[in-house]
């Protein structure tokens, strides 16, 4: 059976599935239950300075889509509202009780060297495995010049990371905010500051909806609302892209992947794009801690089927194939094929193609029945019909250019620079 042991930023765990810093990791009770269920590690919910934080009562919102509950999940919750010493005592006890599991502590304090130095000393006494610097929280704390207010300024990321590396022996992980134009800038700053790894993505600034009776953004707090941080399956594509960008540009920087991981396949995709492990929050809040059992079994079974023996054999295998648009083969050509035996005659392929694409699917009547056929000469291989079709395998894309030479934009005759080279 596949060996799921993983190492991230020098921190070992029996499997790559960690719980992210969030409500599920707010106290020892939760984390003990998580470890009993099989999670390989946790990032303790973000600690700050005393006095404790004051949270709002209404704090979660969600987007449900087409019958799927919590396709996106949003919160306006702040860092832990429990006293610092209680958290530290519980961290120490959890690490004693579960020595083979990863216990990392998320931190957020004011942007002064003394504040970071003081809390690092107290956290180090717990015996935890490392710290994660929360430079990503996009609400509440950012208005206090912490969280994303730091993560959006590469100079601050580098400065605070360097402070932490100077004042602790523990591995230092930097959690990055996606609320930036270019994720590589703060990632490079973390690396310059000496970070042992980065984790991403934190939540995306969002408003999940508006209560049209109260005329207030959701979640509503006494008639008013604010933007929150979006997580869950809806943000997975954003997270995959940012993880892949870092893996491609900075292959030596360890990455922990976060964002919409709900099943084993999600984890495999993050690992294939360069992540050493993954962190989960929304799926655990939606379905409970025992979901990790299916994640572990599913990942192990898939690795066995592909003859991957370790996580490291999977990690980064898709990165070489993640290229810039200009490196894609412009001679590659595919067209759609419709399996008439599987077709249920719904017409979605025709409607989408006829109204919004290339008029490449004909709507016919054959023996009094509807029939949809591809017009090869008009099909550009855009995939829309295959994606819209409700029947798996009914529409496939078939390659037409077998044996054609690879031509990228750099060599294409329509590229002015390419023409100059050709001349």
Which structural domains are found in the chain, ordered by start? 6-321 (3.20.20.70), 325-422 (3.30.70.20)
Q: Crossing angle of helices 264-272/291-306, nearest 10°?
A: 50
CB distance 310 to 276 below 8 Å:
no
Name which of 280, 300, 278, 277 is nearest 291 in CA terms: 280
What's the pLDDT score for residue 411? 85
What's the pLDDT score for residue 262? 97
The active-site residue, picked from 137, 281, 379, 389, is 137
Phi/psi region, residue 194 (left: phi>0; alpha: psi -120 to 50; beta: rest), is left
pLDDT above 90 covers a percentage of the chain that reads 89
Query: What average pLDDT does the segment 124-143 reach?
Result: 89
Residues in the chain: 423
Q: Given pLDDT bands bounded at 50, 70 and 90, which one contains residue 419?
A: low
What's the pLDDT score for residue 147? 79
Query: What average pLDDT does the segment 45-49 reach?
Result: 95
343 is known as an active-site residue: no
Q: Read off φ and ψ for residue 224, nearest 5 degrees.
A: -130, 160
CA–centroid distance for 98 within its chain: 27
Q: Given pLDDT bands bounded at 50, 70 and 90, which one contains residue 148?
A: confident
Name which of 277, 229, 323 is nearest 9 in CA terms: 277
Say whether pLDDT at 422 is over 70: no
Average pLDDT for the chain: 95
320-352 pLDDT, tens per residue? 999 999 999 999 999 999 999 999 999 999 999
Paired tokens of 290: 């025992």
Paired tokens of 358: 């290339």
Paired tokens of 220: 């509503």
Q: How far apart are CA 297 and CA 183, in angstroms?
A: 32
195-230 pLDDT, tens per residue? 999 999 999 999 999 999 999 999 999 999 999 999
345-380 pLDDT, tens per residue? 999 999 999 999 999 999 999 999 999 999 999 999
Q: Read off φ and ψ for residue 277, nearest 5 degrees.
A: -155, -175
Please name the helix (run of DSSP H) or strand (run of DSSP E) that holds residue 217, with its range, or none.
strand 216-217
Record the pTM: 0.94
Q: The tokens 């898709």 sit on which residue?
A: 318
Say whether pLDDT at 246 is over 60: yes
């Amino acid at each position: 059976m596949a060996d799921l042991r993983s190492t991230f930023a020098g921190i070992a765990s029996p499997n790559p599935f960690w719980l992210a810093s969030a409500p599920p990791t707010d106290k020892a009770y939760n984390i003990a239950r998580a470890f009993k269920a099989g999670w390989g590690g946790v990032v303790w919910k973000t600690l700050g300075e005393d006095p404790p934080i004051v949270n709002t009562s209404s704090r979660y919102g969600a987007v449900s889509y087409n019958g799927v509950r919590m396709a996106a999940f949003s919160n306006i919750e702040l860092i832990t509202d429990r006293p610092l010493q209680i958290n530290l005592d519980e961290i120490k006890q959890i690490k004693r009780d579960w020595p083979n599991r990863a216990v990392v502590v998320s931190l957020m304090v004011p942007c002064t060297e003394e504040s970071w130095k003081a809390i690092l000393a107290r956290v180090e006494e717990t015996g935890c495995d490392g710290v994660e610097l929360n430079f990503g929280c996009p609400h509440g704390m950012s208005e206090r010049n912490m969280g994303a207010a730091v993560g959006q300024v590469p100079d601050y990321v580098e400065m605070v990371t360097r402070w932490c590396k100077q004042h602790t022996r523990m591995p230092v992980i930097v959690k990055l905010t996606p609320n930036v134009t270019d994720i590589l800038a703060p990632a490079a700053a973390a690396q310059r500051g000496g970070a042992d790894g980065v984790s991403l993505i934190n939540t995306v600034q969002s408003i999940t909806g508006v209560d049209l009776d109260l005329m207030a953004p959701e979640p509503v707090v006494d008639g008013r609302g604010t933007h929150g941080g979006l997580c869950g399956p809806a943000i997975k594509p954003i997270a995959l892209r940012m993880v892949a960008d870092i893996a491609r540009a900075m292959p030596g920087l360890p990455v922990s992947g976060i964002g919409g991981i709900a099943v084993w396949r999600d984890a495999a995709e993050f690992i294939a794009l360069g992540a050493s492990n993954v962190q989960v929050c929304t799926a655990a809040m939606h379905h409970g801690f025992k979901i990790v059992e299916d994640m572990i079994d599913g990942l192990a079974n898939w690795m066995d089927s592909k003859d991957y023996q370790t996580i490291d054999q999977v990690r980064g295998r898709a990165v070489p194939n993640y290229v810039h648009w200009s490196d894609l083969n412009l001679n590659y050509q595919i067209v759609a094929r419709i399996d008439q035996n599987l077709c249920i005659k719904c017409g979605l392929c025709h409607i989408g193609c006829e109204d919004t694409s290339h008029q490449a699917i004909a709507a016919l009547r054959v023996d009094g029945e509807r029939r949809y056929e591809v017009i090869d000469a008009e099909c550009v291989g855009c995939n829309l019909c295959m994606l819209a079709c409700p029947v798996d395998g009914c529409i496939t894309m078939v390659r037409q250019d077998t044996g054609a030479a690879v031509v990228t934009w750099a060599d294409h005759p329509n590229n002015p620079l390419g023409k100059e080279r050709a001349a």
